[in-house]
A = this chain, B = another copy of it.
Amino acid sequence: MGGSVAMALRAQGWYVSGVDRVDAACRRGVELGAFDAIGPDPTADLTFVCTPVLSVAELALEALDHGGIVTDIGSVKAPIVSAVDHPRFIGGHPMAGSEQDGIEGSDPAMFQGRTWVLTPTSKTDSQAFATLYTVISAMGAQVVSVPPERHDELVAVVSHVPHLAASTLMGVAADGAEEHAALLRLAAGGFRDMTRIAAGHPAIWMDICSANRTAIVSVLDRYIEELSAVRSIVDTEDRPALLHRLERARAARLNLPVGAPPPADLVEFRIPIPDRPGFIAEISTLASELGVNIFDIEISHSMEGGGGVLVAIVSASFADLLRGGLVARGFRSSVTRLESK
């Protein structure tokens, strides 16, 4: 992701020198227009350390020797911030980047509209923070400032523990299905949605689990405790308690903000997917033709198999227009207004 950071900086007029353990990556970075030059620059005003979390602290301390502001983009913050412990170091974590990163995927617009977390402490130099804030905002990112420990707990909840939970669930299913492999076919869309992240490459998770050990263990404890409560609710057939939990979770899920900054009012279209090719193309082309901006689109498979439902989130002001277009083409759809937070 360092390439994208470099491109976004150059787009603001910065002179950027790139450093990588692999020389070829640096040379490719120059070819692609990410770097002006190669090699460490002791006169740098600002250094972004874009390496795996376990090596950030050491490289940040080296860079701080030269006098500029130093930040990083690691997905765990507290261990790094406390190891570096310097007024000119501010931990950072852009919530952007795709699974296929690497210098070839560099994109100066990667941070447009994304959240970029910064984790200043009481020791942080306020001028350094103000400078970094301005630079990152100019990349189009929305800066959110939280203490490093709070950041780590939040990513444990929304990223690290979900990965471990999905992976573990997939493991339980694989165990149970070995004797009857064909029956994993019973695992319809809902299960597939839920375990999709378990297909990710395991490598980065080793470092993340080490670096964010404390927060992950604490969130896993909470998750296990809540699951044990659910287990006893099911066992005792306590229907009111179960209903309360399911409804609370449903409300929270429906209110989950979508990736892009949403307008105040959004509606969710649910359109059953017919069993023929070209449907997604048809709907997305229709929306384009009508000038309806789709904030988010996803395929929701039914838990029980079947064709699934296309879910599209659009601004409430376009709801009637899109509904009309769908009816004209013979599609059934249901429309639900999402409560704004």
A residues within 8 Å of B by Cβ? 75, 94-100, 104-105, 109-110, 112, 114-115, 117, 144, 146, 150, 153-155, 157-159, 161-174, 176-177, 180-202, 205-206, 209-210, 213, 216-217, 219-224, 226-228, 230-231, 234-235, 237, 239, 242-243, 245-250, 252-257, 259, 270, 272-273, 275, 277-285, 287-288, 293-294, 297-309, 332, 334, 341
Contact = CB atoms under 8 A, between A and B. Distances in A.
Contact of A198 (B230, B253, B305): B253
Given A185-B95, A185-B115, A300-B196, A222 B172 contact: yes
Contacts of A166: 194, 249
A194 B162 contact: yes
B294 A277 contact: yes
Contact of A278 (B97, B183, B186, B285): B285
A171 B249 contact: yes
B174 A306 contact: no
A117 B182 CA distance: 12
A275 B96 CA distance: 12
A202 B244 CA distance: 9
B161 A192 contact: no
Given A144-B182, A293-B277, A242 B188 contact: no
A252 to B, nearest CB: 4
Contact of A223 (B168, B259, B307): B168
A171 B219 contact: no
A45 B158 CA distance: 53
A303 B197 contact: yes
Contacts of A75: 304
A109 B112 CA distance: 45
Given A249-B174, A277-B287, A97 B305 contact: yes
B210 A190 contact: no
A288 to B, nearest CB: 5
B154 A162 contact: no
Contact of A210 (B105, B162, B239, B279): B239
A276 to B, nearest CB: 10
Contacts of A198: 246, 249-250, 252-253
A168 B206 contact: no
B284 A97 contact: no
A211 B159 CA distance: 33
Given A162-B190, A277-B287, A250 B99 contact: no
For the complex of A and B, 9 pairs with smallest distance between CB atoms: A202-B246, A174-B252, A281-B284, A167-B249, A158-B187, A95-B305, A170-B249, A199-B253, A190-B197
